[in-house]
Amino acid sequence: MEAIPRLTRLMTSLLLMFVFFPVNGQLLKKLGKRAEKAAERTIERRVEKETTEKTDQVLDSILEPGQKKDPTPKTGQSAPIPHDTGSAKNPGTGNQKQIGENSGMQTGESGPKSITVYSKFDFVPGDKTLFFDDFSNDFIGDFPSKWNTNGGGEIVTMNDSPEKWFELISGYGLYFIPDVPILPEEYTIEFDVLALGLDNKTSSTAILRVALSDDDKFKDGANFVHAHLPFCQYSAIGITMANHINNKREIYSTVRADLREEVLNRPHISIAVNKERFRLWVNEEKHIDIPRIVPQGAVLKTLKFHMNNFKDGKERIFITNLKVAEGGLDLRRTLISEGKVSTNGILFDSGSANIQPQSMGIIRQISQVLQQETTMKLKIVGHTDADGENATNLELSQKRADAVKNALVSIYSIGADRLSTEGKGETEPIGDNSNADGKAQNRRVEFIKQ
């Protein structure tokens, strides 16, 4: 605000000089340039201020209700966090069991609206979990136990939420590698991203790179595919895709995409790899679909993350809820041919029956089967992990099955009389409830032909 009076004083001085002093053209030109630069600086400050205020408003809108604190993550204590809208998860370690399935955290009215937006979302997650990490078994301030790096990073919590995030560090040649098994031919990758400190000066080369590589250490490898997610705020940079096949570049291109709003508001990233085909969604929108970019014949051993050109201490990137799953195939044929589909890809808010919107790809496929097979009836069965009381989990699983039914009826116009529901709680586990991977498998929904 002080810049405007200064500019006014400068312009007044110039006018007085014009009136009372003879000045030559060269001096006027110099003074004019100074005034122009001063105006430019004022505009820049105003734009930066408005951008910062807008960023703060976005962050405030996704903070826990009633909280407007400095969104700076801290180790060893809580700091602000966006509302718990991530994947189905079980935050906490050992003595925090009460936070698991039955924490009671919900997203309120935003859930159904987001689901409607995702009604045409066509991503289908894999049905066999290979890796899942919400960092629930890691301690605050530690590097996550199921990852490797040649740099650094740590687990943080934010505000009063028990949800944990892994803060990545920016630097040339620094990689973050989760302990994912050797990748199959067809699989999916999902994770949530949180960005803090972005503004109109964030570099156009500030990216989070997601890489699939045949090198299991800290190099690109002879065979790889890269997706560069941009965080620049002053321009729509687009998503750059690149690959190497036997040390030779085959593809390097940038796909037009404006992600400036998305990266400020905890985007959910979904990737599907089907042999040579690579697809990528940011929230509900598919931005990348390249049929022949993944190197074939080479064993892509490793999933890697890399940050580039973020300002240390100011621009900060965090990820959580990383899930890698084998499959991601068309569930419609399986349901028709086998009469049954079980999936842990339908996700809910922790401790509630609010469906996470990124789950709509599966529900959409189920609706397409029912629209084609007009006489088919389905039973929807909900399952939970073992956190919390048995009776509470039983009730929760029933509510989740009912929520899936309601989505099929209200969004895709399936007749309610063709759908029945049942909740089985924690009574039929298929994974180990003592770890995050097993719990993610147990939180599932079954569709059974009647």
Q: What average pLDDT score do residues 163-182 get? A: 93
Q: Is the confidence at residue 416, as pLDDT, over 90?
A: yes
Residue 25 lies in a domain: yes
Q: What average pLDDT score do residues 328-341 get? A: 83
421 Cβ contact list (under 8 Å, min separation 6): 379, 380, 381, 382, 398, 401, 402, 404, 405
Q: What is the pLDDT of residue 345?
A: 86
Q: What residue spans of 279-345 are helical by DSSP H?
A: 331-338
> 49 lies in which domain range?
3-61
Q: Is the confidence at residue 250, as pLDDT, over 80?
A: yes
Residue 5: pLDDT band (50, 70, 90) is low
Distance CA 120, CA 169 (A): 35
Residue 47 lies in a domain: yes
Residue 20 lies in a domain: yes
Is the C-alpha dihedral spanning 256, 262, 264, 270 positive or negative? negative
Residue 284 lies in a domain: no
Distance CA 316, CA 304 (A): 18
Looking at per-residue confidence, does 247 or 109 come out higher? 247
Distance CA 252, CA 65 (A): 43
Residue 50 lies in a domain: yes
Q: What is the pLDDT of residue 440?
A: 86
Looking at per-residue confidence, does 64 or 433 come out higher? 433
Residue 314 lies in a domain: no
Q: What is the pLDDT of residue 86?
A: 35
Q: Which residues pair with 63 in a beta bridge?
A: 82
Residue 21 lies in a domain: yes
Number of domains in the chain: 1
Q: Is the confidence at residue 427, as pLDDT, over 80?
A: yes
Q: Which of 24-33, 69-78, 384-393 has the highest mean pLDDT?
A: 384-393
Residue 18 lies in a domain: yes
Looking at per-residue confidence, does 240 or 98 come out higher? 240
One-letter amino acid at 438 equals G
Average pLDDT, the chain: 80
Buried b (16+ CB within 10 A) or exposed e, 19-35: eeeeeeeeeeeebeeee
Q: What is the pLDDT of residues 86-143, one digit of tens each?
A: 333 333 333 332 223 333 333 333 344 568 888 888 898 887 889 999 999 999 999 9
